[in-house]
Amino acid sequence: MLALRLEKELEAKLSALARIKGRTKSEVVREAIVRMIEDTEDLALAENALRRTRSAKSLRQLRKELGLDR
């Protein structure tokens, strides 16, 4: 369980969004948290992949090894 305090303006925006989506405020906040966690995990995976590929072979090297350059 989680309890949090929001500024009046933010709570009003949350209430309006929940009304528009036909969901409860808890559902909207839960969905936002899940998306943020997923986005953070995706970013970490992408950054790790980028670090691994920076030391990889160049496109020119790969094409030569695969016999794609004439």
> How many Å separate Cα 51 from the centre of its chain?
18
Of 4-8, 11-15, 34-38, 46-50, which gets the smallest average pLDDT? Answer: 46-50
Write down the pLDDT at residue 57: 78
Write down the pLDDT at residue 23: 98
If DSSP codes are grouped into helix, strand and coil, which group holds residue 2?
A: coil
Tokens linked to 69: 């350059």
Asked whether the CA dihedral 36, 42, 48, 54 is positive or negative, the reply is negative
Distance CA 70, CA 64 (A): 8
- 0.85 exceeded by pTM: no
Give the start-to-end residue ranges of the domains of the chain. Answer: 29-70
Examine the pLDDT at 55 and tell me if it is beyond 70: no
